[in-house]
């Protein structure tokens, strides 16, 4: 935070059947009146989309054909986490840095 203390943890989005082609739903940070907008969720299960199981708790299920255990391989699976520039600019208003 601005006083160099740590902020609470912020959740990231998760999804069912994560693959190399997964596209998450794109949400605008601000509405047409430049007011901050927020992702609406079902608080009983933290889902954004019931069909894809897109959620706000970072829970993922990796698509089976990417599973190195199922293919008798030792190939590590990496996650590419990207943060849009408008989100970074918003975060800069409240904190001095972050780590994943």
Write the pLDDT tens digit of every residue in 14-60. Answer: 888 887 788 888 888 899 999 999 888 888 998 988 888 888 888 88
Q: Output the CA–CA distances (angstroms, integers) from residue 46 to 1, 43, 65, in the order listed.
A: 26, 5, 27
Higher pLDDT, 96 or 34: 34
Q: Quote the pLDDT of residue 35.
A: 93
User: The pTM is what?
Assistant: 0.63
Q: Quote the pLDDT of residue 16.
A: 87
Instruction: Report whether 29 contacts 86 (CB < 8 A).
Output: yes
């Amino acid at each position: 935070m601005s006083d160099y203390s740590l902020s609470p943890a912020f959740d990231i989005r998760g999804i069912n059947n994560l693959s190399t082609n997964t596209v998450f739903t794109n949400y605008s940070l601000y509405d047409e009146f430049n007011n901050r907008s927020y992702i609406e969720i079902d608080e009983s299960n933290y889902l954004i989309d019931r069909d894809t199981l897109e959620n706000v708790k970072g829970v993922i299920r990796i698509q089976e054909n990417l599973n190195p255990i199922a293919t008798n391989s030792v190939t590590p699976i990496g996650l590419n986490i990207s943060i849009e520039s408008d989100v970074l600019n918003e975060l800069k208003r409240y904190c001095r840095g972050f780590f994943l």
